[in-house]
Amino acid sequence: MTERSPSVAQLQEVAEDVYAYIQPDGGWCLNNAGLITAGGRPALIDTAATEARAKALKDAVARVTPHAPGFVINTHPHGDHTFGNRLFADEAVIIAHEATRAEMDLAGLHLTGLWPDVCWGDVGVELPILTFREPITLHLGDIRAEVMHLGTAHTRNDSVVWLPERRVLFAGDIVMSGATPFCLTGSISGSLAVIEKLRALGPRTIVSGHGPVGGTELLDSTEAYLRYVQDLAGAGLAAGLTPLEAAREADLGPFAALLDSERLVPNLHRAYAEAAGAEPGHLLDISELFSEMVDFHGGLPSCAA
């Protein structure tokens, strides 16, 4: 098993008063965050997985603005995007979709148990105090930040943050850049539907949940992978293969270079279920799917958080 050595996180200005916080290499739990500094009350989009990484994010914010974030928007409930909330909660209103809050509360610190060797530090679950059902807009100086839940995709309750004046889209984990898309608790078909909605926004710059900043090619590459999974599932079903067997026989072709290829196994489980008529986000045995993914990988995947 190859160990990866991520480099130092970088705060990258992607438009006037808009930043992406990128944590290379974008693999397991090395997520991206966003920052909007216009208007004097900065908004932070997602946090980080560990206490040390959340502190590094806080320090990076302080280097470009004298103001502590007044808002933290969580794009979905996973701990790599939310465990750092507690470091910002004294000054910030934490915002998320109402189902994101509920899932965060239910999951607790479950993620830390998957990788017990990670130095998580003093992390906790700081729940959003402002939730929404319908889209909301934050007015930050001359920037409108439109926060929207567009359907089941990476999870059942993903949100994106769209800045129409800057044409910047913070897509959360619906879109991946150089990493394998992941629909363990979401949907393959739902992700494809949401990607079309994102494309219709007309973004120029896309900050994905993991990996380098890009443009609409990130929508194209994520879509291409998900359609590949659907095709692979169809062939596997026709051949009478289980998702794990289909994954082992698969030729990843143009997707072989994506990080964390073991995600193919739960993605195939999703595609198999949807081919059999399951609704997007239908509950599956998450522990079983994760165990099969570990089996496929030959051990627990490396997490450099």
pLDDT per residue as tens, the chain (305 positions): 445 555 689 999 999 999 999 999 999 999 999 999 999 999 999 999 999 999 999 999 999 999 999 999 999 999 999 999 999 999 999 999 999 999 999 999 999 999 999 999 999 999 999 999 999 999 999 999 999 999 999 999 999 999 999 999 999 999 999 999 999 999 999 999 999 999 999 999 999 999 999 999 999 999 999 999 999 999 999 999 999 999 999 999 999 999 999 999 999 999 999 999 999 999 999 999 999 999 999 999 999 99
Closest C-alpha to 185, from 74, 245, 100: 100
pLDDT of residue 224: 98
- For residue 281, is it left (φ>0), alpha (ψ between -120 and 50) or beta? left
pLDDT of residue 1: 40
Rounded CA-CA distance 234/250 in Å is: 12
Rounded CA-CA distance 85/123 in Å is: 9
Query: Is 213 in contact with 205 (CB distance < 8 Å)?
Result: yes
81-95: b (≥16 Cβ within 10 Å) or e: bbbbbbbbbeebbbb
pLDDT of residue 96: 98
C-alpha distances (whole Å) from 264 to each of 54, 191, 227, 258, 274 are 29, 15, 12, 11, 15
In this prediction the pTM is 0.96
pLDDT of residue 145: 98
Rounded CA-CA distance 29/200 in Å is: 29
pLDDT of residue 8: 87
Query: Is 88 in contact with 74 (CB distance < 8 Å)?
Result: no
